[in-house]
Structures are given as structure tokens and as C-alpha cells.
Copies of this chain bind each other. A is one copy, B any other.
Amino acid sequence: MRFSSGERSLQTLARIAEKLEARLEGDGNHEIARLGTIQSAESDALTFLANPRYRGYLEKTRAGAVLCTEDQASFSPVPVLIVKDPYLAYARISHDFDVRPQLAPGVHPSAVVDASVSVPETVHIGPNVVIESGVTLGDGCILMAGCYVGVGCELGKSVRLWPHVTLYHGVRLGDRCNVHASTVIGADGFGFAFAGDGWERVAQVGGVAIGDDVDIGAGTTIDRGAVDDTRIGDGVIIDNQVQVAHNVVIGNHTALAGKVGIAGSAKIGSFCMIGGAVGISGHIEICDKVQLLGMTLVTGNITEPGTYASANPMDKAASWRKNAVRFRHLDDIYHRLRRLEDREN
């Protein structure tokens, strides 16, 4: 048995069209059971065409229906649901066919919940979850197996923690936050004073304040503030293995791809898109609507929206070696070039 979508729900195309305010061309009674790709979907699956370059696939698709724009509809051999933004429409309907486990409310007997904590009836607490004193939980929260919620944490409504998430003391998560496995929020910031013969740790007494609708990947770490809080805005999306240091501030709806690292007290604007493995130095500011390409290193403020980059282009190692060694001569090359120019004039 292939593990896939479809066991969950059956919906007619008419019903899907209604939900998405899409114009249906085809049989409204046809039933959709799962999601598919345009190449491999069968007649019980819904798919989408977002990139016109895939029109060749559209012309041959055997899907039950295709979400597409008006101008692509005529190329489809199967029913179409016409919308302005097919990928966004697909995103919205996709949850009806999700395969993630649906977890009933209730507290597993192996969970260790402090007596001071009031657990709403709509909340699911999985096996081996530990909840310390003074924690507040909103309606509909789902805390999966082995999560740890430290003293005084505040979780909004419908927060989902996947297994083995650690929330240190004093972490606040807004409504509908989704945190993937083994992510750690609220560990001590990397604050040490140099004492001549070694390092002296500085107590990190700030918390972490995370807005509503924040999505956080697996294996990510978000440190608590040194004194004030580390702050993540509403609707921020964070991928796996991202490191957010103490007192970082991230504006609303900014996206951080996998393996981004942000050093202490950096301030990032809203609607930014930070590419994979980007590094951002401490104490700098990045304005709204900045896009950083993968592996860019940011060491100074960015005050103008736009796209930025810093990585080298890849090459075969043999020629890369010859060129890379000249990097150390760049300033010399520049001055020798100027000297030649000066002589000539």
C-alpha cells in the first residue's frame, strides 16, 4: 500500500469550485479523492498548472480536474477549474486532502502536565509530553509526542507542535502557529563576557515572542532574548535548520529558507525572502521587501528593497583553482591596471 492522500475525503468538482470561487468547465458530480501532479494524477486526483512551460503536460494529463487560468483552459483534455492564481487556489484546497494524522482531543496518560495548567477540552496532548507550571494553552492546540513546554509558556489557539519540540520557559506563540519536530525555541542566547582568562556566561532573561500564523520547520533554533524578547512577526515562514539568535527581530510575512543563520540583534523587515544558507551578521538592519539569493553573506545594513547576492559562481575545480588564487591579487591587479591607464594618457 502506497501511503498517500485520498482516504480522508471525497469532494465533487462542484463543491471545490464553490469553495474556491472557481469557474468549472466539466462534470460537477465528478469526485476528487486526492491531490496529484499534472504528470501522474489519475481520474480521482486534482492537480494544477501554475507554470505555462508545463502546458505540454496539461495537454496529456489524465487528472480528474486541473486548476488553471482562463488562457490555459482550452488546452486541457479534462475538466478545469478556472481561477486567477492556480497555485494559490491549490494551496487553499490542498488541506482538504491532507494526509497528516488527525488527532482527537484528550490527554495521553503518559503525559506529565503540571497541576497548575488548565487544558481545554479541545486540546490534544500526545504521549510523553511534558508541560510545566504556569503554561496557558489555547483551544484546539495539538502537542504531539515528546514535546516539552517550559514554565510560563503561552500558546494561542490551534497551535500545533510536532514531536520533540522544546519550548523553554517564557516562550509565547500566537494563534495557529505550526512548529515542526525537534525545533528548539527559547534556548539561551550566545551571550558571554570575556574575563581575560575565559568566558563568563551572561544570564539570558528575555523571552521569545512569536506572532500569529507562524510556520517553523524542523531542527530550527530560536534563542531567547538577553533582556528584551526575540521577536518574530505574524505570518513569518521559517524552513528547517534555521538559526535565529537572541534579540533578532523579524517583520511580518518574511520567509526564511533552510539553513539561514541570523546573528544577535539583527533586525529584518517585512515581506523579505531570505534564500537558503544565507548568513546575516549581528546588529544590522534589513529593510522591507529585500530578497537575498542563496548563501549570501550580509555584513551591513540594507536600506533599499531589491535583490542582493554575494556567492561566487561555481566552476570546474581545475579552472576554479587558477582563478581563485588570483582573488588575492585583485587589489594589485586593479592598481596595475590604473598605472597602465595613467601612462597611456
Contacts and interface: CB of A to CB of B under 8 A. Distances in A.
Say whether chain A's binding surface is mostly helix, strand, loop, or mixed.
loop
A166 B182 contact: yes
Contacts of A294: 263, 279, 281, 297, 299
12 contacts: A4-B170, A90-B193, A91-B200, A95-B201, A101-B151, A110-B112, A190-B217, A259-B279, A279-B294, A307-B317, A313-B324, A315-B328
Given A240-B243, A279-B276, A164 B192 contact: no
A177 to B, nearest CB: 12
A258 B253 contact: no
A263 B253 contact: no
A109 B315 CA distance: 56
B101 A130 contact: no
Given A169-B101, A337-B333, A205 B308 contact: no
A295 B324 CA distance: 14
Given A170-B3, A317-B306, A329-B334, A188 B180 contact: yes
Interface in A160-201: 162-164, 166, 168-170, 172, 178, 180-182, 184, 187-188, 190-195, 197-201
B169 A166 contact: no
Interface of A: 1-5, 34-37, 40, 85, 87-88, 90-92, 94-95, 97-101, 108, 110, 112, 126-128, 130, 132, 144-146, 148, 150-152, 154, 162-164, 166, 168-170, 172, 178, 180-182, 184, 187-188, 190-195, 197-203, 205-207, 213, 215, 217-221, 223, 227-228, 234-235, 237, 239-241, 243, 245, 252-253, 255, 257-259, 261, 263, 276-277, 279, 281, 291, 293-300, 306-331, 333-334, 336-337, 340-341, 343-344
A88 B195 CA distance: 7
Contacts of A316: 306-308
B314 A323 contact: no
Contacts of A334: 326, 329, 333
